[in-house]
Amino acid sequence: MKPDEMKELAQLIQKVPGLKGIDFKEVKRLADLLRETPEIGSLELKGLFGTGVVITRAGVQLPGVPAPVAHAPVAPAPGPSVEAPRPAPAGSGLKEIKSPMVGTFYSAPEPGADPYVKVGARISSGQTVCIIEAMKIMNEIEAEFGGVIREVSVEDAQPVEFGQVLFRVDPNG
């Protein structure tokens, strides 16, 4: 990362609610940490209300983490078929909760436990809806809005990509 880019990133980070006080030197330290430690795939800084900044090393393939594929069809793996994510139907009014990172989706806090949410469950903003494991770190994913879960788009213990739809929620339900 070039010094000008780090300064710009530091200025952007300071504008994120709840992340005040991060300066150029701290951003430089984070960038240096990413450069010197190849096993770190990303750093996520979270502020108030789930806002944050994600810094990711480009072009690094970590063992056990699927590589993102851009504009290339992927042949389905043998085994049970999993329906490809589809956008919410136009006019349906459904909102999507998407994965903020690459990792493994878990619907419950531990094996054998009840899932955080099921289809038909009412959720509120800030409520934990699932866990995504990335680099042996369990990241609780919180809803950014309330409503009723209308669809769970991912099977438990399945890999997910950044931006992949996890849930479809009816905010008026």
Domain architecture of the chain: domains with CATH: 3-56 (no CATH), 95-170 (2.40.50.100)
Please check the confidence at residue 134 and state whether its pLDDT lies above 50.
Answer: yes
DSSP state of 163: T
Rounded mean pLDDT of 33-49?
A: 63
Query: How far is the C-alpha of 130 from the C-alpha of 166, rounded, in Å?
Result: 9
Angle at the Cα of 154 (from 149 to 158), degrees rounded to 5? 145
Rounded distance between C-alpha atoms, residue 46 and residue 119, angstroms: 28
- Per-residue pLDDT tens digits for 74-110: 444 444 444 444 555 545 689 999 999 999 999 999 9
Model pLDDT, residue 36: 73
* Residue 157 predicted with pLDDT over 90: yes
* pLDDT grade for 69, boundaries at 50, 70 and 90: very low
pLDDT at 71: 40
Classify strands 147-152 and 165-170 as parallel, antiparallel or unpaired. Answer: antiparallel
Lowest mean pLDDT among 55-59, 106-110, 160-164: 55-59
Report whether 45 contacts 21 (CB < 8 A).
no
Q: Are β-strands 122-123 and 95-98 bridged in parallel, bridged antiparallel, or unpaired?
A: unpaired
